[in-house]
Amino acid sequence: MPALLSVKLDPFGDLQTDMVTVNEHFLKLKSGYLFPEIGRRVSAFKERNPGVELIKMGIGDVTQPLAPAVVDAMHRAVDEMGVGESFRGYDDGGVGYAFLRSAIVEGDFSSRGVDLDLDEVFVSDGAKCDTGNMQEIFGLDNRIAVADPVYPVYVDTNVMAGRTGSADAIGHYEGVCYMPATAENQFVPAPPETPVDLIYLCFPNNPTGAVATRADLSDWVAYARDRKAIILYDAAYEAFITESDIPHTIYEVDGAKEVAIEFRSFSKKAGFTGVRCGYSVVPRELKAHTKQGQPVDVRMLWHRRHCTKFNGVSYVTQVGAAAVYSPQGSRQTQATIDYYLGNARVIREALAKLGYTVFGGVNAPYLWLKTPAGIDSWGFFDRLLQQAHVVGTPGVGFGPSGEGYVRLTAFAQSEHVAEALDRIARL
């Protein structure tokens, strides 16, 4: 009976074959439904309506070129790499060159009254990777909390790791605490009643465009300190904050260094979606615990993880990122942010004038548009596509609390934004 020979018992008594098995947690993933479905509907429309020009206001990618100061710096860096004396190999340690980490500490934190050491800053290839990878250093028994609607990376990476059960009919995974972000709470959830350990917060928010006030963040920091929880704070859209009383970093709140990790990205701030650079801040004060209750330095764990699995961002890219903080670079990148925020204002005002209820777009490149009464997210998505030839993103795709909304982005060219609004006005 040769077949039996290939069957062995594992220590837990489950039957196994000699086939390669997969990480079955991946099979729990509600596999990438939103953007493929949008793509399917858009292709079907195009097939039936050849020659119709669609305006894309759905995808969260930038459109404007890099700042000239960044391009110049990167050119110079390439030339340095071509000369023996200035050639560089591995970025020592892979955590980022000191010149970039100093520029970050100065430009993004000291300027806001927050002191950080260079070794609390870890340069990476972007905030998607960091927000996705950070969960690895925490135990599988931690309970995670996310907003609903949510940037899917936070949830999916925890599903892959095995920190959740299966998804239910509305796409919520068992064991995850979902915190509804609705018009009633201004899209800023309050700390939950149920105890949670790892809390993902994103402000300015994708997809709702909402921001957290100092009072909101103080509540969260107090909760985390009280419950020994950790906040994973995604500030990828920090550069879009316009209102002077909105914190740019969670560390503006006293005591946050003991309970929060912050993620930043040059993607939306400086058009680096195709260049790839971001960073994480893991403060020295931040501790988690062993099961026996021994405190462990989270920064050391992240350092170990980062240097084991990552070998640093290219020198050319880091020089480009540092140039974002030069006087010219910051002026030029700010001008591009202002261009997007100008689009956001035009969209907000035009839609409000048409009688729509619209949130966001003041401190964020996203607008969260309430669908007209009686039409759901996909219904309004279809109406925009079919009748206005505008592509948005159905809010329900980010979570059930997004039902009744469509997300529009301000990243399009201004001419296209104006044209899209004309078309929406004629609906």
Ligand X SMILES: *Cc1c(COP(=O)(O)O)cnc(C)c1O
Residue ranges that bind ligand X, judged by CB under 6 A: 60, 126-128, 131, 151, 202, 206, 234, 236, 265, 267-268, 273, 278
Q: Closer CB to ligand X, residue 151 or residue 302? A: 151
Cα–Cα distance for residue pair 378/404, rounded to 1 Å: 9
Cα–Cα distance for residue pair 72/162, rounded to 1 Å: 45
H or E, element range at 56 = strand 55-56
Question: How many angstroms separate the most distant Cα atoms in the chain?
Answer: 77
Q: Is 376 exposed, middle or buried (0-12, 13-18, 19+ CB in 10 A)?
A: middle
Smallest gap from Cβ 288 to ligand X, in A, equals: 22
Q: Closer CB to ligand X, residue 302 or residue 350? A: 302
Q: Closer CB to ligand X, residue 234 or residue 262? A: 234
Q: Closer CB to ligand X, residue 206 or residue 249? A: 206
Smallest gap from Cβ 419 to ligand X, in A, equals: 25
Q: Is 128 exposed, middle or buried (0-12, 13-18, 19+ CB in 10 A)?
A: buried
What is the number of the residue whose Cβ is closest to ligand X? 126
Q: 12-35 as b/e, with b when 16 or more CB fall inside 10 Å?
A: eeeeeeeeeeeeebeebebeeeee
Smallest gap from Cβ 155 to ligand X, in A, equals: 12
Q: Closer CB to ligand X, residue 128 or residue 257? A: 128
Q: Closer CB to ligand X, residue 206 or residue 326? A: 206
Smallest gap from Cβ 204 to ligand X, in A, equals: 9
Which candidate, 112, 371, 72, places its Cα nearest to that of 262? 112
Which candidate, 68, 82, 384, places its Cα nearest to that of 393? 384
Q: Closer CB to ligand X, residue 236 or residue 390? A: 236
Six token digits for residue 9 = 């018992």
Q: Closer CB to ligand X, residue 63 or residue 386? A: 63
Report yes or no: 153 and 128 within 8 Å, Cβ to Cβ: yes
* SS3 at position 426: coil
Smallest gap from Cβ 395 to ligand X, in A, equals: 15
Smallest gap from Cβ 275 to ligand X, in A, equals: 9
Smallest gap from Cβ 216 to ligand X, in A, equals: 17
Q: Closer CB to ligand X, residue 185 or residue 273? A: 273
DSSP secondary structure string for all residues of 153-200: HHHHHHHHHT-S--B-TTSPBTT-EEEE--GGGTT-PPPPSS--SEEE
Q: Closer CB to ligand X, residue 131 or residue 218? A: 131
Which candidate, 271, 266, 425, places its Cα nearest to that of 354? 425
Cα–Cα distance for residue pair 38/43, rounded to 1 Å: 9
CA atoms within 13 A on the CB side of 10: 6
Smallest gap from Cβ 132 to ligand X, in A, equals: 9
Residues 6 or more apart whose Cβ sits within 8 Å of residue 66? 74, 270, 271, 272, 275, 320
Smallest gap from Cβ 56 to ligand X, in A, equals: 16
Smallest gap from Cβ 355 to ligand X, in A, equals: 29
* SS3 at position 7: coil
